[in-house]
Structure 1
Amino acid sequence: MSRGKIVVGLDIGTTKVCAVVAEKDEFGKMNILGMGRSNSEGLQRATVININKTVDAIKEAVSEAEHTSSIKIKGVNVGISGEHVQFVRGNAEVSINPLGIVNHADVLRFVEKAKKNLKYIDIDREIIHAIPQEFIVDDQEGVLDPIGMAGISMKGSVYVVVGMKMRIRNIEHCIAHAGLEIKAMTFEPIASGLAVIKESERKSGVVVIDIGGGTTDIAIYSRGVIRHSGVIKVAAVDVTNDVAIGLKTLHEIAEDLKVKHGCAYMRELMNDEEIQVQGIEGRPPKNFMRSALTNIIEARMIEIFELVRAELKKSGFYDYLNAGAIITGGGSLIPGTQGLAQEILGLDVRIGYPEGISGGIKKDINNPMYATVMGLVAHAFDDMEQHQEQMEALRENERQQKEIAAQIDAPASDSTDEPPESDMPQNAKKPDKSFLLKIKNWLDQI
């Protein structure tokens, strides 16, 4: 990892594990250096049920990513999802530092206090994310970024993601047994949103619907920040299972039929042709019409979008989704999905492809099924930049501490030539040592 700002995203999904190695170019775009993919058999509904199979899949995907990128992978930003992951809203109020200008340290104190103020979190859950939503600086409401604003107090709300400790531990065990370390863990609906949303959509109000293998993840954004998220236990694997049962064939054959001949919306079925299904274990092949396959797929996809619509209504943000919906994930690739979603959801819909990719193996990753892993990469870069800002803020605090300590400890001047303080210009007055001491005490607490 000696090339500089290089990060690795690792998406451990129900049907696939994917690893992506990326760096940022001089324009802030992501350059994809390598990727690896393997089949996943150790998870069910985004939850680990077999450690060994999951570890093997991680090793295979990471090994391929190392080979294609020529970079040894050690740290990864891993995704987490599943019904056990939920969100709660926290609130807090803090005093702004004695200088009266909001800085990074104030925001960090605000977030930490909001986490401590949380109620009704079970002992078997832990916090994954705490993301500020909006601030009120004194009487100024609707502030998204308070840094640099003047005021006395600051309050607001925080979007907090929590998950079951044991299920998080299982992910951590798999990563450790694969010889890797976790740099960060990201809730996958947040990652998918980072990958596919345009800034204008984020401000206008939009929902990202990621139809994965085992779960359908939902994330609602409004006025620039995430407002609501949810996980539905119906997804692409259920469509495949329905095809296998309906056509009485193997799961692998059903998946192939879904990918090659599937359609999610009967109104968009252009050619109703006859399709032959391979027989099982030497049995004769069977023929059926493509419209029969479409009927099976459409029924399950209608269920998925009806569940999504119910979640949107429950959230209270349905009427504020001015930019509509973005559908992404492998399940969005079935022809007709966009049209069916538009009819069921009653929203404008587009298919979401990863944004902000400049080069490297761009063509291999420019696919909705890689939205989550690309969002994990984007989140890793965001974390890196935030860490750098925090370190700079800490260095500035240390500099201020030394400067204030020097002024407090400086001996009083005995010079008789010095004019009386009342005759000095206001901006040239000596600073009040009690005020300096107050600032120093505040800095010591950070």
Structure 2
Amino acid sequence: MSLDATPLHSETRSEKPSEKLSVTREIIAAVDVGTTKICALVGTVIHDSLGNLAVRVLGGGVTPSRGLRRGVVMDVPEVTTAIGEALESAEQESGEQITSAYLGIAGNHIATSNSAGISPIDGRHGVTGNDMQRALEGARAVQIPANRQIIHVIARHWKVDEQENIQQPLGILGSRLEVDAHIVTGTINAINNLAQCVLAHGIDIDELVLEPLASGEAVLTAEERQMGVVMADLGGGTTDLALFRGNGLWHTEVLDVGGSHMTNDVAIGLRAPFEVAEELKLRYGHLQPERIAEDEQVWATVFGDKPERTFSRRFISQILQARAEETAELIQSRIVKSSYGNMVPAGLVLTGGASQLPGAVDLFRRILRMPVRIGSPVDHPAVHGLSRELQSPAFATAAGLLLWALYEDARAIHYPMQRMIPENGQILDRVGGWLKSLLPD
């Protein structure tokens, strides 16, 4: 195992002691490939005392990202190696071999649109799961550019004859089922570049999952999703937005701004190396600089003939605040542009690594003028066994990928990865070619 890869073991794990859990030994795995880190998780499917599906996390591994820019693969060998380190650590801690995984995807190549589909209903039996799938397939039959691939077709709401805004149509009698669906696409090259980095390790991809969908699974409550809520996952290279209402997905978007931009601003402002700026951000950063004493100073290694200098902690926080305010204003403008701003009474749920900066809730609440809270996977009732490290909002996407595996149903079309790979096997051929070049003779 690489020294850069970290098994996420800890004696402190989240448990719900009031629930008796039944383990099925069905093993599921997740891989979250982010701009700043790669996380692999292994879990097992369990049932709580009420018979509800849940997941117990058995182990995980995390390694710094290499070869990615804003969620997109730029260097296939580098990304493949980093993923391998995280997978090896997760297997080591969990004691399980990973044979397949749910893979998160994001990046500025993601695009979304809405479409409608129709299916006839057998009036004797009411709506069936097959009827719902046929309607979703109809919504899928839209023209998309030749260089793009559909990742998700997810129902926003349903209509049976004249009954509108139905959330779950199963069993409803009628003659005609209609669906209003949200379609998520990505560029074929970006999808295939990411896929081959996982396939190179002999691991099948159960499904590609848009990362804001996964994060939403992990950090949103059922009531928030029902009433209407925006989730913002503040990642390293991007900010992922998802708007939910009536338990349906209404809008998704990937913004080209994240925690790394904050770090870069500090590095430029202090003329310091990026790694130094990152440490200063995490250790001393605050998004409400007025709460920092004016005379509080911190030491930092910088460029130039004087390798160490002192800086005002308030000044560092002012740099971070400016970028955070810009991010909040961008989120606000995108919510308004989506035309769904009046549909989110539950407000905004922040998650992701950058959401942990002190003062984030107050800053976003001030600018967006709506309820704001931080969402963490440890709060989800169906997630058990999270180590202390994994309880952080930074691991919401990885935990959400495991939850996504539990909740597959007829509300969406699910695409196993093999349906996205060309039948001529060119991806696997390319993987084999360059991977062999890395191995000793």
Same-fold call, TM > 0.5? yes
Q: Is the 8 A contact 2:133 2:410 kept in 1?
A: no
Select the residue among 169, 172, 179 that pairs with 2:202.
179
Identity %: 33
1:74 aligns with 2:99: yes
Paired letter, 1:65: A
Select the residue among 373, 380, 388 that pairs with 1:363.
388
Judge which range, 213-222 or 96-105, deviates more: 96-105
Query: How do 1:105-120 and structure 2 match up within 5 A?
Result: 105-116=130-141, 118-119=142-143
Q: Is the 8 A contact 1:210 1:217 kept in 2?
A: yes
Which residue does the alignment assign to 1:191? 214
Deviation at 1:211, TM superposition (A): 0.5
Query: How do 1:405-444 and structure 2 match up within 5 A?
Result: none
What SS does structure 2 have at the residue aligned with 1:25? strand
Deviation at 1:272, TM superposition (A): 5.1
1:261 aligns with 2:284: yes
Deviation at 1:35, TM superposition (A): 0.5
What SS does structure 1 have at the residue aligned with 2:265? helix
Q: Is the 8 A contact 2:226 2:244 kept in 1?
A: yes
Question: Highest relative contact order (Cα 8 Å, sep 6+), 1 or 2?
Answer: 2
Judge which range, 266-275 or 332-341, deviates more: 266-275
Which residue does the alignment assign to 1:379? 404
2 CA distance for matches of 1:318 and 1:161? 20
Paired letter, 1:61: A
2 CA distance for matches of 1:381 and 1:94? 27
Unaligned runs of 5+ in 1: 391-446
Deviation at 1:262, TM superposition (A): 0.4
Deviation at 1:39, TM superposition (A): 0.5
Which residue does the alignment assign to 1:170? 193
Q: Is the 8 A contact 2:215 2:400 kept in 1?
A: yes
Q: Report how many residues are paired.
A: 384
Which TM-score applies when normalising by structure 1?
0.83
Which TM-score applies when normalising by structure 2?
0.84
2 CA distance for matches of 1:210 and 1:88? 20
What SS does structure 1 have at the residue aligned with 2:39? strand
Select the residue among 18, 26, 29 that pairs with 2:54.
29
Q: Is the 8 A contact 1:268 1:336 kept in 2?
A: no
Select the residue among 17, 23, 48 that pairs with 2:38.
17
Q: 1:270 to 1:382 in 2, by over 3 A?
A: farther
Query: How do 1:5-154 and structure 2 match up within 5 A?
Result: 5-27=26-48, 28-97=53-122, 99-116=124-141, 118-119=142-143, 121-154=144-177
What SS does structure 2 have at the residue aligned with 1:82? coil
Which residue does the alignment assign to 1:274? 297
Deviation at 1:51, TM superposition (A): 0.3
- Cα displacement string for residues 124-181 of structure 1 (whole angstroms, at most 9, x for unaligned residues): 1111001112111111111111111111111121111111111101011111113211
Which residue does the alignment assign to 2:430? none
1 CA distance for matches of 2:182 and 2:133? 14
Which residue does the alignment assign to 2:7? none
Q: Which has the higher helix share?
A: 1
- Cα displacement string for residues 93-146 of structure 1 (whole angstroms, at most 9, x for unaligned residues): 221136341111111111111111x23x11111110011121111111111111
Deviation at 1:85, TM superposition (A): 0.7
2 CA distance for matches of 1:282 and 1:34? 46
Q: Is the 8 A contact 1:133 1:159 kept in 2?
A: yes
Paired letter, 1:115: R
Q: Is the 8 A contact 1:131 1:159 kept in 2?
A: yes
Select the residue among 225, 231, 234 that pairs with 2:248.
225
Select the residue among 237, 257, 263 that pairs with 2:260.
237
- Radius of gyration: which is bigger? 1
Select the residue among 349, 355, 362 that pairs with 1:339.
362
Q: Is the 8 A contact 1:100 1:150 kept in 2?
A: yes
Paired letter, 2:40: A
RMSD: 1.9
Which residue does the alignment assign to 2:12? none
Q: Is the 8 A contact 2:29 2:101 kept in 1?
A: yes
2 CA distance for matches of 1:386 and 1:111? 9
Deviation at 1:9, TM superposition (A): 1.0
What SS does structure 2 have at the residue aligned with 1:183? strand
2 CA distance for matches of 1:343 and 1:272? 26
Paired letter, 2:388: K
Deviation at 1:193, TM superposition (A): 0.7
Judge which range, 306-315 or 150-159, deviates more: 150-159
Judge which range, 206-215 or 84-93, deviates more: 84-93
Deviation at 1:332, TM superposition (A): 0.3
